[in-house]
Chains A and B, each alone.
Chain A
Amino acid sequence: MEESLVDWSRAQFALTAIYHFLFVPLTLGLSFIIAIMETIYVKTGQEKYKKMTKFWMTLFAINFAIGVATGIIMEFEFGTNWANYSWFVGDIFGAPLAIEGILAFFMESTFFAVMFFGWDKVSKGFHLLSTWLVAIGSNLSAFWILVANGWMQYPVGMKFNIDTVRNEMVNFWDVALSPVAISKFLHTVGSGYVIGALFVVGISAWYLLKKREVAFAKSSMLVGATFGLIVSIFLALSGDESAHQVALKQPVKLAAMEGLYEGKEAASIVAIGVLNSKKTIDNNEKTFHFELEIPYALSLLSYHNSNAFVPGLKDLVYGNEKYNIESAKEKILKGKIALEAFKQYKKYIKEGNTKKANDAKFVLESYINYFGYGYLTEPKDIIPPISLTFYSFHLMVTLGGWFILLFAVVLFLLLKKDITKQRFWLYASMYSIPLGYIAAEAGWIVAEVGRQPWAIQDLMPVGIAATNIATANVQITFWLFAILFTALLIAELKIMAKQIKIGPNGGH
Chain B
Amino acid sequence: MFENLTYLQLQQYWWIIISLLGGLFAFMMFIQGGQTLLGKISQGDETLKTMLINSLGRKWELGFTTLVLFGGALFAAFPLFYSTSFGGAYWVWMGILFCFILQAVSYEFRTKPNNFFGQKTYEIFLYINGSLGVFLLGVAIATFFSGSEFYIDERNFSYWQNSLRGLEALSNPFNVLLGISLLFLVRISAAMYFINNIDNILIKKRSINSIKIDMIVFLVFFLNFLYMLFTRSGFSYDKNAHIFIEKYKYLNNFIDMPFVGLLFILGIILVIISVFNTVEKQKSCCIKTGGVGIVLTVMALFLNVGFNGTSYYPSLYNLQSSLTIENSSGSEYTLVVMSYVSLMVPFVIAYIAYAWFQMDKVKITKEEIMSKDAHNY
Q: Give residues in A with beta carbon < 8 Å to B.
A: 54, 58, 61-62, 64-66, 68-73, 75-76, 78-87, 90-95, 97-103, 105-114, 116-119, 121-122, 126, 130, 161, 164-166, 168-170, 172, 346, 467-470, 473, 477, 480, 484, 487-488, 490-492, 494-495, 497-499, 502
Could you tell me which residues of chain B, from 38 to 95, have a CB within 8 Å of some CB in chain A?
58-59, 61-62, 64-65, 67-69, 71-77, 79-80, 82-88, 90-91, 93-94
Chain B hits for A80, CB < 8 A: 86-87, 90, 93-94, 97
B334 interface hit (Cβ, 8 Å): yes
Indicate whether B1 reaches chain A with its CB closer than 8 angstroms.
Answer: no
Q: Is B100 an interface residue (CB 8 A)?
A: yes
CB distance from B228 to the nearest CB of A (A): 28
In the assembly, what is the distance between CA of A95 and CA of B337, in Å?
A: 8
B76 touches A90 (CB 8 A): yes
Stretch from B206-214, B302-310, B358-366 forming part of the interface with A? B358-366
* Contact B88–A100 (Cβ < 8 Å): no
Bound CA–CA A168/B87 (angstroms): 21
Which B residues touch A75, using CB under 8 A?
68, 71-72, 75
Please report the C-alpha to C-alpha distance between residue A61 and residue B57 in the assembled complex, in whole angstroms: 12
Q: Is the CB of B358 within 8 A of A86?
A: no
Report the separation of the CA atoms of residues A170 and B90 in the bound assembly, to the nearest whole angstrom: 32
Main SS at interface, chain A: helix
CB within 8 Å for A69 and B105 given contacts A90-B82, A118-B359, A480-B98:
yes
Given contacts A100-B72, A101-B73, A103-B344, contact A87 B79 (CB under 8 A): yes
CA distance A263 to B174 in the complex (A): 64
Residues of the A chain whose Cβ atoms lie less than 8 Å from the Cβ of B273: none
Of B69, B77, B87, the residue contacting A467 (CB under 8 A) is B87
Among A83, A90, A106, which residue has its beta carbon within 8 angstroms of that of B88? A83
Beta-carbon nearest neighbor of A497 in chain B: B114
The residues of A that contact B341 with a CB separation of less than 8 Å are 95, 98-99, 102-103
For B163, what are the chain A residues with a Cβ–Cβ distance below 8 Å? 470
Contacts of B351 in A (CB 8 A): 107, 110
Task: From known contacts A100-B72, A467-B90, infer whether A113 and B105 are also in contact, taking CB-CB under 8 Å.
Answer: no
Contact A110 B75 (CB under 8 A): no
**With contact pairs A93-B75, A102-B345, A165-B156 given, residues A76 and B359 touching in the complex (Cβ less than 8 Å):** no
Q: How many Å from the CB of B259 to the closest CB on chain A?
A: 26
Chain B nearest CB from A369 CB (Å) reads 19
| A/B interface sample: 22 pairs, CB < 8 A | A62-B108, A62-B112, A71-B68, A75-B68, A76-B97, A78-B75, A79-B71, A79-B75, A79-B85, A79-B86, A87-B82, A94-B79, A95-B337, A98-B73, A103-B348, A106-B65, A106-B348, A110-B355, A113-B61, A117-B359, A169-B333, A498-B113
B362 — nearest CB in chain A belongs to which residue?
A121
Nearest residue (CB) in A for B340 is: A172
Given B68, B337, B355, which contacts A130 in the complex, CB threshold below 8 Å?
Answer: B355
B116: chain A residues within 8 A (beta carbon): 487, 490-491, 494-495
Say whether B62 contacts A109, CB under 8 Å. yes
- Residues 300-349 of B contacting A (Cβ, < 8 Å): 330-331, 333-334, 337-338, 341-342, 344-345, 348
Asked whether A97 lies within 8 Å of B331 as measured between CB atoms, the reply is: no
A84-B157, A497-B114 are contacts. A91–B331 as well, Cβ < 8 Å? yes
> In the complex, what distance in Å separates the CA atom of A83 from the CA atom of B80?
9
Q: Are B333 and A109 in contact (CB under 8 A)?
A: no
Decide if B157 touches A83 in the complex (CB within 8 Å).
yes
Distance between Cα atoms of A165 and B156 in the complex (Å): 7
Closest beta carbon of chain A to B326's beta carbon, Å: 12
CA distance A102 to B76 in the complex (A): 12
Which single residue of chain B is at the shortest CB-CB distance from A114? B355
Specify which chain A residues have a CB less than 8 angstroms from the CB of B249 in the assembled complex: none
Chain A's closest residue to B104 (CB) is: A69
B108-142 contacts to A, CB under 8 A, are 108-109, 112-117
Asked if B83 contacts A68 (CB within 8 A), the reply is: no
Asked if B239 lies at the interface with its beta carbon under 8 angstroms from chain A, I say no
Known: A68-B61, A116-B58. 19 other contacts (CB 8 A): A61-B108, A62-B109, A69-B104, A73-B101, A90-B75, A90-B80, A94-B82, A95-B341, A98-B341, A99-B338, A101-B68, A101-B69, A107-B348, A108-B65, A469-B90, A473-B91, A491-B116, A491-B117, A495-B109
Q: Which residues in A have their C-beta under 8 angstroms from that of B227?
A: none
With A70-B101, A76-B93 as contacts: A491 and B331 at CB distance below 8 Å: no
Residues in A neighbouring B59, C-beta threshold 8 A: 113
Q: B158 on the interface (CB 8 Å rule)?
A: yes
